[in-house]
Amino acid sequence: MSVECSKYESGVVVCTFSNRMDTSKCLEAEEDVMKAIDGAEKIIFNLDGIDYIASSFLRLCNKAFDKVKAGNFSMINVTPAVKRVFKIAGLAERLNLSLN
Amino acid sequence: MSIEAAKKRADDFLVKAKESAAIFSQLSQEHVDRIVKAVYEAGFKNRVKLAKMAVKETGMGRWEDKVIKNVVGSLFVYEDIKNLKTVGILSDDRETGIMEIAQPIGPILAIIPVTNPTSTVIFKTLIALKARNPIIISPHQKAIGCCVETAKICYEAALKEDAPENCIQWTREEPIDFATFDIKDYYAETQALMSHPKLSLIIATGGGGVVKAAYTSGTPAYGVGSGNVPILIDKSADISFAVKNILISKTFDNGTICASEQSIVVEQSIADAVIKEFKAQGGYFLSEEEIKKVEKVAFDREREIMSAGVVGQSVEKIAQLAGINVPAGTSVLLAPLKGVGDDYPLSSEILCPILAFYVARDFNYAVKTCIDLNFHGGMGHSAGIYANDDGVIKEFSTEMSAGRILVNTPSSQGAIGGIFNKIHTSLTLGCGTAGKNITTDNITAKHLINIQRVARRRGNERFSNFDANLFYDESLSTDEILRKFNLNY
């Protein structure tokens, strides 16, 4: 299992990813994530312990971001290495990473 | 295309490239090396197909020689860079306290020339990926089809090794229909890419115009300069060997490499022997009348550069264009000239099998002729000498303004490295400040990383033991200050 998603009554969905989100893990997780966040008010990606992300993970983040209103997507527990990836990609601000 | 449309197009490329660069920055050396190996193997495997495509599309050169260029751009480049460390800690010197760490530089725009299209795509892709940088291939407008095919082959191979998406992009999918396309649009697109704020570096290989555009774009750039390569055959040379090697080089791909020989300079004492040898090996010496005819087709007087129509063409084609008859099997046309400069068009760089030929009364005059040729449009590029006297070689080399001085070596293949010497294999030859470039190096993967220096504290003992207030005292002489500064050291 590369992701576990929890839905709360408030409409918040928290997706917790684990280990290395390479291309195959992202493909594996995508369906579960998209199903879980359908109709969500707020989405939180928990990246605790993630030390590598592939291109497809950036795409998954962008897809999730587009599912909710501006400001209602965020990421938590981002490691420095992964934060740097989002900064280089120019996605940190858009994906609400700035305070992580 | 409007400037806004060109900018939007550039933005699409660079957003993807930047994301690719971000993913790339996490890759280990082992992973990068796997990607690079896969790309080299794919380029090498397709060397013949791509060579034939290049010749067919551009109408320049010989497919057999383009195959060799593809071999150089893939196999030789790979062998040159495969053991280079480009990820993580490069060195850690405990004595100086300095640790060096390699970081990728980010998206690279690769300007690809019409003369060496597919080989340059493979080469630039390999060195960019080796340094963990995504690359955007911008082909010459007359070589789009073969360049795109090459880029696709490389990209497919890279993805199989789990390379970041969009690590290789290309600016066009299909060759341009020149009947309906405004070339200004092409320039606008290239300009928008070059000046895009997300672009990290341009590697511009091509004519003076595109290199200057790269340098003035505001983005850091490695460029090339024009060549006008003089070759001196010294009296200590093995004449037969020298002529054979010059012909191997000058006829290679019909002379399209910018490091190919442009002029041969010999001393009077060996002139007859050299002329005889050239004739024996298929060289044809033009008469004064024939020189005038060849000048007309080979040199564009208005633009003061070689005519595009002869670039990469065979001797037969050039003779036909000029309206002269040459013996069947002629390998090069040699033009005996009395001077260098605007009054002698064939003393300029012309990328086809034409050589200017000079006889100098002694070695000093020969070197001075080479200096004139060198300064006539070829500063910083390459020069060559055939000699078996190390003193002569050193004297010649010291006087040349050239990034590469090739000794007893075909200059085309010698300058790009890997075949006849140990300089780095490259299809982008830096020409130093004389050629308006930042380096005289053969550009390779090591130029595409940023090196961070972690500087641990290591005190300067003299400074620590010195009363720094003495630096403020203007009444003290320099000698007095230095005596105290160096005391007991």
A52 contacts A22 by C-beta, under 8 angstroms? yes
How far apart are alpha carbons B255 and B253 in whole angstroms? 5
**Single-letter code of the amino acid located at B435:** G
Q: What is the pLDDT of residue B179?
A: 81
Do B263 and B156 fall into the same domain? no
CA Rg value for chain B: 25
In chain B, which residue's Cα lies nearest the Cα of A51? B26
State phi, psi for B450 to the nearest 5 degrees.
Answer: -90, 135
Q: A86 to chain B: which residues are within 8 Å by CB?
A: 22
The reply to whether residue B26 touches residue A86, judged by beta carbons under 8 angstroms, is no
- Enter the ipTM: 0.90
What is the pLDDT tens value at each position of chain B, 489 positions in all?
788 889 999 999 999 999 999 999 999 999 999 999 999 999 999 999 999 999 999 999 999 999 999 999 999 999 999 999 999 999 999 999 999 999 999 999 999 999 999 999 999 999 999 999 999 999 999 999 999 999 999 999 999 999 999 999 999 988 888 788 788 888 899 999 999 999 999 999 988 889 999 999 999 999 998 899 999 999 999 999 999 999 999 999 999 999 999 999 999 999 999 999 999 999 999 999 999 999 999 999 998 899 999 999 999 999 999 999 999 999 999 999 999 999 999 999 999 999 999 999 999 999 999 999 999 999 999 999 999 999 999 999 999 999 999 999 999 999 999 999 999 999 999 999 999 999 999 999 999 999 999 999 998 999 999 999 999 999 999 999 999 999 988
Residues of B with CB under 8 A from a CB of A: 15, 18-23, 25-26, 106, 162, 164-166, 198
Do B286 and B266 fall into the same domain? yes
How far apart are alpha carbons B303 and B305 in whole angstroms? 5
Do B182 and B35 fall into the same domain? yes
**Single-letter code of the amino acid located at B388:** N
**For residue B132, how far is the Cα from the chain centroid?**
22
* Residues ≥6 apart with Cβ < 8 Å to B172: B139, B144, B148
Please report how many Cα atoms fall inside a 13 Å half-sphere around the Cα of residue B4, on the Cβ side.
Answer: 0
- Is the CB of residue A54 less than 8 Å away from at least one CB of chain B? yes
DSSP secondary structure letters along B292-320: HHHHHHHEETTTTEE-GGGTT--HHHHHH
Do B159 and B212 fall into the same domain? yes
| Residue B280 is assigned to a structural domain of this protein | yes
For residue B109, what is the enclosing H or E element? strand B108-112
DSSP secondary structure letters along B199-243: --EEEE-S-HHHHHHHHTSSS-EE------EEEEE-TTS-HHHHH
Structural domain count, chain B = 2
Q: What is the pLDDT of residue B242?
A: 98
In chain A, which residue's Cα lies nearest the Cα of B161? A23
The reply to whether residue B25 touches residue A22, judged by beta carbons under 8 angstroms, is no
B260 contacts B351 by C-beta, under 8 angstroms? yes
Structural domain count, chain A = 1
Active site residues of B: 258
Do B155 and B295 fall into the same domain? no
Interface test with B, best of A56, A65, A88, A94 (most B CBs within 10 A): A88
| Residue B469 is assigned to a structural domain of this protein | no
State phi, psi for B18 to the nearest 5 degrees.
Answer: -70, -40
The pair of structure tokens assigned to B322 is: 């000029």
Q: What is the pLDDT of residue A1?
A: 72
Please report how many Cα atoms fall inside a 13 Å half-sphere around the Cα of residue B412, on the Cβ side.
Answer: 27
| Residue A96 is assigned to a structural domain of this protein | no
| Residue B345 is assigned to a structural domain of this protein | yes
| Residue A57 is assigned to a structural domain of this protein | yes
Taking the CA of residue A52 and the nearest CA in chain B, the distance in Å comes to 7
For residue B287, give the CATH number of its domain: 3.40.309.10
Do B190 and B290 fall into the same domain? no
Q: What is the mean pLDDT of chain A?
A: 91
DSSP secondary structure letters along A1-53: --EEEEE-TTSEEEEEE-SEE-HHHHHHHHHHHHHHHTT-SEEEEE-TT--EE
- Is the CB of residue A78 less than 8 Å away from at least one CB of chain B? no
In chain B, which residue's Cα lies nearest the Cα of A86? B22
B143 contacts B114 by C-beta, under 8 angstroms? yes
For residue B332, what is the enclosing H or E element? strand B332-336
For residue A37, give the CATH number of its domain: 3.30.750.24
Q: What is the pLDDT of residue A99?
A: 55
Through-space distance between the first and last CA atoms of chain A, rounded to whole angstroms: 25
- Is the CB of residue A90 less than 8 Å away from at least one CB of chain B? yes
| Residue B47 is assigned to a structural domain of this protein | yes
Do B163 and B47 fall into the same domain? yes
| Residue B206 is assigned to a structural domain of this protein | yes
DSSP secondary structure letters along B356-404: EEEEESSHHHHHHHHHHHHHTT-TEEEEEEE-S-HHHHHHHHHH--EEE
**Strand, helix or coil for residue B442:** strand
The pair of structure tokens assigned to B107 is: 């998206």
**Strand, helix or coil for residue B139:** strand
Do B180 and B260 fall into the same domain? no
Please tell me the total number of residues recorded for chain A in this structure. Answer: 100
Q: What is the pLDDT of residue B186?
A: 84
| Residue B426 is assigned to a structural domain of this protein | no
Q: Measured between alpha carbons, how far is residue B303 from residues B83, B307, B342, B351 in Å?
A: 45, 9, 12, 16
Q: Measured between alpha carbons, how far is residue B401 from residues A66, A75, B225, B357, B372 in Å?
A: 58, 57, 12, 20, 11
Do B233 and B377 fall into the same domain? yes
Supply the range of the domain harboring residue A17: 3-89
Strand partners, B335: B356
Do B218 and B233 fall into the same domain? no
| Residue A95 is assigned to a structural domain of this protein | no
The pair of structure tokens assigned to B469 is: 């207030």
Supply the range of the domain harboring residue B57: 3-223+443-450
| The pLDDT of residue A37 is above 90 | yes
Q: Given pLDDT bands bounded at 50, 70 and 90, which one contains residue A18?
A: confident
The reply to whether residue B22 touches residue A88, judged by beta carbons under 8 angstroms, is yes
